[in-house]
Structures are given as structure tokens and as C-alpha cells.
Structure 1
């Protein structure tokens, strides 16, 4: 492991992501929404979640822009919850977590299986790829802080001063 200095973690967005979605029921609601559940009653009966907890989690997910709450045109008393673009972007995260659990917690693929809608074949493992398409393992990735660089992370400029480098392991 390379340790030139410890990266400045205060700018790391991972705690923000966990604050928004890092709770068990939120992940299960997200899985349900990705599987086509739309109504409060569908979530409640499918997940077996208490109504007050479900109401709280749905409200938080709407407030955080993961779900959109839409009143039904045909019945103003009914509401639909639909994934936003931000919510749909969590799909690869959900798949990666499921694949991790199948491998490390269950030891085998579980049912229902994740398959490609078109040909019904199992989806491949979610992996991290380099800019050139190479598959990267954890040992191939570095966290870096760019001293005095206001570009987004990963937008390295030529000869940018590197304040710290730490290899993930």
C-alpha cells in the first residue's frame, strides 16, 4: 500500500451517498421501485414493512430526489412513486451490492436471478474499468488529492501537483 500522505477525506462524497440511501429499508424500496412497484400498498405488502417506516422512507427518498411522487390523474387519492434519473442511476450500485452478497455472503447466485431483458442471460459482474477499458482491481486504483486544482476529481491536468496518493487495498 502506498502512503505518501493521507487524502483529505472531507470532500469525499461517499458519506453523502450513504446518508441518502445507506439504510436497509431504503435499498429494499429502491429494489422494489426498480422492479416495477409504484404504489404505497405494493411496497408495503411486497416488503412487509411497517406503514410508518415505509411512509418515512418514501418521504426521504422523494426529498432526496431518488423517487418522484405523482398524484394519479384517475384518482387524486392515489399516489405513484417513480424512480427519477438520480434514482435510476443507482441501478449499477444495487446490482454490484447484490453480486457482492451472492459471492461473499451466500456463496452462490440467488433467485430471482438478474438477467438481460432481451435474451434472458445472466448479467455480467459489475466491474470498474480504466479509461482505456482495462478491468481494474482494488490494488490498481489510487485515491489522489490535487493540490490547488479546482477541476473535478479525475480531471488531471498535465504536471498537476499531487498533494497525496494512497493506494486502495
Structure 2
């Protein structure tokens, strides 16, 4: 008997495993950030960061706050839905700390 994956679980895994999404979420756990701060924190192009933030905003995971200052200030933060991922992200970090060696990371780089 073949067991089917839950479509919601599959959607969640597809979203979270999309390249750079995990690192963006991890970065935003520290609190609201400007685009330029995130761009300097992450090894990702501005165009791709913008695409991922739009995707996460559309999914209701990230919220964008525009401040009417001069120049205009835009900050990104995790929504309630995004904050709910914090324990998941922290557990992945714990797992990585316990099971991923420096050598494995250096081989990739």
C-alpha cells in the first residue's frame, strides 16, 4: 500500500527548501532588517534576494514595512506565520551543529 505525502507538508518543504529561503529566514530571526543589511549579511545577489523576499511576502511569511522618511526606508521582518518557523529553524541549526563538520562545509566552498 503506497502512502501519499500530505500536500500541505509537501508545499511547506518545497517553500523552505527553495535556495536561500532558509538563510533569509534565519537572518530575519534577529529582527527587522533593511534590504541592504540583508544583502550584506547573505551571499546572494540583490536580484535573487528581492525575488525570495517577494515570494515570502506573498506566502505571508515575511512582511514589508515602508517608512515615509526621506529617503524612504523599507524594512523586512517575519510575520506571525514566519515567527512560527523559529523552532524549526533553530532545530535545524542544532542538528547542523551536531552533525555537519567543518570539513563538510569547507568541501562545498
Q: Deviations over 1:75-109 (max 9, x none)?
A: 473211111010000001101111111111128xx
What's the counterpart of residue 18 of structure 1?
13
Please identify runs of 4+ aligned residues in structure 1 that moved more than 3 A: none
Q: TM-score, normalised by structure 2?
A: 0.82
Which of the two has greater helix per residue?
Answer: 2
What's the counterpart of residue 83 of structure 1?
78
Classify the secondary structure of the residue corresponding to 1:81.
Answer: strand
Classify the secondary structure of the residue corresponding to 1:68.
Answer: strand
Classify the secondary structure of the residue corresponding to 2:20.
Answer: helix
- Work out the number of aligned pairs and report it: 102
| 1:15-164 equivalences in 2 (<5 Å) | 15-75=10-70, 77-106=72-101
Q: How much has 1:15 moved relative to structure 2?
A: 1.3
Residues 75 and 21 (structure 1), Cα distance of their counterparts in 2 relative to 1, 3 Å cut:
farther
Q: TM-score, normalised by structure 1?
A: 0.55
| CA radius of gyration, larger in | 1
What is the RMSD of the two structures over their aligned residues, measured on CA atoms? 1.9
Question: Which residues of structure 2 form unaligned runs of 5+?
Answer: 103-109
CA distance in 2, matches of 1:95, 1:35: 12
Question: Which residues of structure 1 form unaligned runs of 5+?
Answer: 108-169
